[in-house]
Amino acid sequence: MSAQSQPRLSPEEYLALDRAAEIRSEYYDGHMYSMAGASPRHVLILTNLSGELRQTLKQGPCRVYAAELRLRVHPDRLYTYPDINVVCGELELADDQKDTALNATVLVEVLSPSTESHDRGFKFAHYRHIDSLREYVLVWQSEPRIEIYRRQQSGEWLLSEVTGLDAACRFDSLGCQIPLSEIYAYVSFDPQP
């Protein structure tokens, strides 16, 4: 993501601009950042995972929102668009426009070379302050590998990792697991050097 040349914006100014724009932008500390387009592999993995989660969770209290639902992480500083936002229970919205969520249970980011360090560092540092968040999931594009950070009762975050197409990703807060073979269905991986 890159900063657009502009004066400092209030969150209200950002929301007005973002709602009117054709291209989504994230907001941090007074500045808008245009979001880059995604690769076909990124979109396929995102579609597979959101579809599997929706199918698995459709009878319960959790709902899956993929890519287009804005998330307010901090009212004065940070608004983002996670790849997947799962909300369990009633969706809490920031205002009467009904396009900005407040209460994520699980957040998923599909890692791209241009966003990996941002997703791992900056976003996760801020996402950890969402009281409702229980799991943060990073999905690799280059190989069948998923990292899951789970909030412990102590408030600490514990990392677990699953790899290989014969493994399954367990979502403790959702009470389900999804086979990596389904998450990565139809995905071709580049040969490793």
Residue-by-residue pLDDT tens, the chain, 193 positions:
444 456 889 999 999 999 999 889 999 999 999 887 788 999 999 999 999 999 999 999 999 999 889 999 988 889 999 999 999 999 999 999 999 999 999 999 999 888 899 999 999 999 999 999 999 999 999 999 999 999 999 999 999 999 999 999 999 999 999 999 999 999 998 876 6
Give the span between the Cα atoms of 76 and 54, in whole angstroms.
31
Contacts of 147 (CB under 8 A, 6+ apart): 137, 138, 140, 159, 160, 161
Please report the domains of the chain, with CATH numbers, ordered by start residue. Answer: 38-183 (3.90.1570.10)
Q: Is the pTM of this model over 0.85?
A: yes
Q: Are 46 and 65 in contact (CB under 8 A)?
A: no
